[in-house]
Amino acid sequence: MRQLVLALALLPALAMAQNMTQDMVTRDGVTLTQAQETQAEAIGSQLRCLVCQNESIEDSNAKLAAQLRVIIRTQVVQGVPAPSIMNFMVQRYGIFVLLKPPVSPLTYLLYAMPLLALLLGLAAFWFGRSRNAAPGPLDAAEQAKLEELLHE
């Protein structure tokens, strides 16, 4: 009877332990809770893969991206806040690591490039159009030369 009471008393603790292990996720060799994994994915989706350059580190299969994911997940498990993790990555790899860098003197040219490209395209179109204007009529010497070439 005592064993039955003990087993019934431990049953809720066993169920909680089983639920806790089900909520754990292992990614890139780091085990964390589902909430921590969601936070790590949110941070990783804002960082550029330094190898691929057009993908976030969450989407990349590059080895460097996997190493960065491990760093992020380890820091998330340690309880480091997201802004501190982002600042760490920027200090280590530069502002280029951010997929959406903030507007600052370092990024003015980056954000101005679409407008500059549009203006250069319009200027090229405008000046190119005036050069391709239809030629005027032939003068007498050109007309005589044309007649001479046609009758040969």
Q: What is the pLDDT of residues 11-57, one digit of tens each?
A: 565 555 554 555 887 777 778 889 898 899 999 999 998 888 789 99
CATH number of the domain enclosing 61: 1.10.8.640
**Nearest-angstrom CA–CA distance, 35 and 134:** 69
Do 90 and 25 lie in one domain? The reply is: yes
Do 118 and 79 lie in one domain? The reply is: no
Judge contact between 72 and 44, C-beta under 8 A.
yes
What domain range is 135 assigned to?
103-152
- pLDDT tens, 76-102? 999 999 999 999 999 999 888 898 888
Task: Collect all residues with Cβ–Cβ distance below 8 Å to 59 and sequence separation of at least 6.
Answer: 45, 49
Do 9 and 78 lie in one domain? The reply is: yes
Q: What is the mean pLDDT of the chain?
A: 82
**Nearest-angstrom CA–CA distance, 63 and 110:** 27
Number of domains within the chain: 2
Do 16 and 57 lie in one domain? The reply is: yes
Do 5 and 50 lie in one domain? The reply is: yes
Do 59 and 21 lie in one domain? The reply is: yes
Could you tell me the pTM of the whole model?
A: 0.60
Q: Which domain-ending residue is among 63, 79, 102?
A: 102
Do 86 and 120 lie in one domain? The reply is: no
Burial class (CB in 10 A: 0-12, 13-18, 19+), 85: buried
Do 2 and 66 lie in one domain? The reply is: yes
